[in-house]
A and B are shown apart, each in its own frame.
Chain A
Amino acid sequence: MIVRLQRQGALVVLVILLALGGLLFRTFLTTYTLGNLAVQASFLAMIALGMTLVIISGGIDLSVGSVYALSGVLAAYGSTRWGLAGALILPLLVSGVIGLIQGTLIARLRMAPFIVTLCGLLFARGLLQLITSEGSTTYLVPPGSAFRWLGDGTVLVVIAVIAYLVGGVVLQRTPFGMRLFAVGGNEDAASLMGLPVARTKISVYVVSGLLAGCAGVMSAAQLGSGVTVIGVGLELNAIAAVVIGGTMLTGGSGAVSGTLAGVALLFVIQELINQLGRFNSNMQNVVSGAVLVVVVVLQTLLSRARR
């Protein structure tokens, strides 16, 4: 029961808030409002999915916000040069390579994930500034480009849903998923069992990079341009969603379904505050922070009670 509650805590709160929203506002439980929320949430959902895998492996990835922004700019740039193929391949290649380098430094040279990905955050943001001449150049996706089609709201949500289905199956049903739990639970034990610890860790950072890259590509397709100023602090939102979703930062446990509920929860809270309207928009952050505290304390207490 307690395990259930800890796993599904975010979902329970989400359902309560949705019901509350439905009662308070006639426009809340409509396809229009919820659909809009889903489209807005799809970018963070992609990033938080990668973050979930990284955190289960016992690490953390602070670079995702910068990689997201960088990929968006690269996608817009690629679409002006090489059309749809460029818009997809260029950003994913770069974000994958960034993930590969980070993973290698962490797994082979045993550097702290926090520091390595912090450097990744600075590096990707620097690269972004460089290719946009310090943010003064904006690359626009050419009108009529096939790439724009990808930015349709429904397509974005479908991509995110598919990513979560694949992520869930990979995590729960494949040897790679099992290795992730083993490495995050006890790295030394996993190593003694003969599991390829380093390779597993490197892969998970590559996946996280690729998912952040994917989110960037999606945002460029939707906005029709590469926006340089997005994604600052997004890594923290992603971590918050993961933690609210019941994945412990200590590694070795967690589920992608919880993360999805966590992402949804963050956006529903925001929307509720918006609709209430009485609040200063700055209150959004205050409430988000307070919710994070409440959920995290509950999660921690519940996981203690389990033992």
Chain B
Amino acid sequence: MLKRTAIRDYGVYLALVVLVVINVVITPSFLTGDNLRTQLVQVVPVLVVALGMALVIGTEGIDLSVGSVMAIAAALLPLYLGYGVVASILVCLIAGAAAGLLNGSLVTFAGVQPIVATLALLVGGRGLALVIANGQLKQLYNPDLLALGTSSVIGIPLTVLVALVLVIIVALLVERTTFGRQLVAVGGNRRAAEFAGLPVKRTLLTVYMLSGVFAAIAGVLASARLTASDPSSLGLLIELSAITAVVVGGTPLTGGRVRVIGTVAGALLMQLISATLIKHDVPASVTQMLEAALIAAAVLVQRERRNGK
């Protein structure tokens, strides 16, 4: 079954390469710097959220609250801009961590299933964001914040660089640290991890807090790029895109494995698919249906064998 596992593990990279090649051939302006920059900038929020999601899914959990946490961060952002950009972003990150702490506590201490625990914040969080923002969209005028969203360093947009740094941090966290190994052990077999004396509760709490913080970062980056704080629509349904990127990237929903680079490839693949279809005037409705079919196909290929698992 060597072939089968190879497709499962490297299929997403293969699909990405094929899609890039197809685009180089059929899309005239594909290889221009402008286009590549646009694609990268657009993928940033989903990618950053997906990084946190990959960690959570690695523990056999799921975080449905990320979109609402993004909205909360966006709502808080303009409130503290008077104290400077750093202070304002810090408030957002603390809020993200608090949201993650709530999710993690429900999962860890109350024993609530992750999907339900985070569902509560998905429902309540957006309401909270709208209450904080008084239901209004606010323009962001702070020049430093706008620079974060719109400026570039050596031709690479700043938000993309931030995402890149986060990717490296998460990859190192998973591959090189004790925490990373504990995370995978908890996801693989929670009871065994408990018996082995691993700090299961602390690991789970940390994972959900990281997911909350990453969602908050995504909220800040997206708002800075839009130059507006829009808590009513920011991050709507992003949890589904992020989960898709993670799963297509080879991290199984059953936990016990985290593929960080796969997640990056998964996010890029989803972005490129929709960009390609839109570029070639395929209606959005058909694009959406094709995406659904592609996700199904990707997961079908990656499906664990029944007895071999």
Chain A residues close to B by CB (< 8 Å)? 60, 105, 109-112, 114-116, 118-123, 125-130, 134, 232, 236-237, 239-240, 243, 249-250, 280, 282-290, 292-293, 296-297, 300-301, 304
Contact = CB atoms under 8 A, between A and B. Distances in A.
Given A111-B303, A112-B253, A118-B295, A292 B119 contact: yes
Contacts, number: 143
Interface in B38-79: 62, 64
B285 A249 contact: no
Contact of B240 (A111, A121, A237, A239): A121
B112 interface: yes
A126 B292 contact: yes
B280 interface: no
A232 B123 CA distance: 12
B244 A109 contact: no
Contacts of B292: 119-123, 126
B26 interface: no
Give the contact-size bracket for chain B. Answer: 35 or more
Contact of A296 (B116, B127, B286, B291): B116
Interface in B198-245: 237, 240, 243-244
Interface of B: 62, 64, 106, 110-113, 115-117, 119-128, 130-131, 134-135, 237, 240, 243-244, 247, 253, 283-289, 291-293, 295-296, 299-300, 303, 306
B84 to A, nearest CB: 28
B295 A293 contact: no
Given A121-B240, A296-B112, A111 B299 contact: yes
A112 B296 CA distance: 10
Given A109-B303, A114-B253, A119 B283 contact: no
Contacts of B106: 293, 296-297
Contacts of B291: 122
Contacts of A249: 113, 115-116
Nearest to A101: B296
B247 A115 contact: yes
